[in-house]
């Protein structure tokens, strides 16, 4: 798969951690690691902002999304609170991950643990054009379950 080259700066507290990498040839995301000292515990119902030890410079026209890992969600009830977190192309600070423990047991994070994943994606900025009327569609203003829950409606 073609890879976009992105500058990444390892911060001093993450200097010994491996570069984030794709787990398989066609993975969509690289895993983000916790650049913490020792062990950090998130009690049930609590949240924590976890440092990753990296800063990046995305090319103009791209963003990165901080997403949860399904394994942590399924096994521990731990997810990214602001999912997907947005990393702007002009952000040069450390990437941080806001985790919340929705589980019923304390969650222990160790240094180097893969706590979330990062997807780089193209961005479209819009120029709003204010109008009085929008074009009509079959859906109109229907939403929030307006098409029901059974099989697809045929035309």
Ligand X SMILES: O=c1ccn([C@H]2C[C@H](O)[C@@H](COP(=O)(O)OP(=O)(O)OP(=O)(O)O)O2)c(=O)[nH]1
Residues tagged in the binding site annotation for substrate = 69-71, 82, 86-88
Minimum distance of ligand X from residue 66's CB (angstroms) = 4
Query: What is the rounded distance in angstroms from the CA atom of residue 11 to the CA atom of residue 82?
Result: 23
Q: Which is nearer to ligand X, 80 or 107 (CB)?
A: 80
Instruction: Name the residue among 138, 145, 87, 88 with its Cα closest to residue 116.
Output: 87
Q: Which is nearer to ligand X, 81 or 111 (CB)?
A: 81
Name the site residues for ligand X (rule: CB under 6 A): 66, 82, 85-88, 91, 95-96, 98
Minimum distance of ligand X from residue 48's CB (angstroms) = 12
User: Which position's Cβ is nearest ligand X?
Assistant: 85
Q: Which is nearer to ligand X, 52 or 76 (CB)?
A: 52
DSSP per residue, the chain: ------EEEE-GGGTTSPPP-BSSTT-S-EEEE---SSEEEE-TT-EEEEE-SEEEEPPTTEEEEEE--HHHHHHH-EEETTSSEEE-TT--S--EEEEEE-SSS-EEEETT-EEEEEEEEE---------S-PPP-SSTT--SSTT-SSSPPP-
Minimum distance of ligand X from residue 91's CB (angstroms) = 3
Residues tagged in the binding site annotation = 69-71, 82, 86-88
Q: Which is nearer to ligand X, 66 or 72 (CB)?
A: 66
Query: What is the rounded distance in angstroms from the CA atom of residue 46 to the CA atom of residue 66?
Result: 19
Minimum distance of ligand X from residue 23's CB (angstroms) = 21
């Amino acid at each position: 798969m073609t890879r976009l080259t992105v500058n990444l700066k390892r911060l001093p507290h993450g200097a010994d951690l491996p570069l984030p990498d794709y787990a398989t040839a066609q993975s969509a995301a690289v895993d983000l690691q916790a650049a913490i000292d020792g062990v950090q515990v998130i009690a049930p119902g609590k949240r924590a902002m976890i440092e990753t030890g990296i800063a990046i410079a995305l090319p103009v026209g791209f963003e990165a999304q901080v997403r949860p890992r399904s394994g942590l969600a399924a096994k521990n009830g731990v997810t990214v609170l602001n999912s997907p977190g947005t990393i702007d192309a002009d952000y040069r600070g450390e990437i941080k991950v806001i985790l919340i423990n929705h589980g019923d047991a304390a969650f222990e994070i160790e240094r180097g643990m893969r706590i979330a994943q990062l997807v780089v994606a193209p961005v479209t900025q819009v120029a709003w054009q204010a109008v009085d009327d929008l074009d009509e569609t079959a859906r109109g203003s229907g939403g929030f379950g307006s098409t029901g829950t059974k099989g697809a409606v045929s035309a």
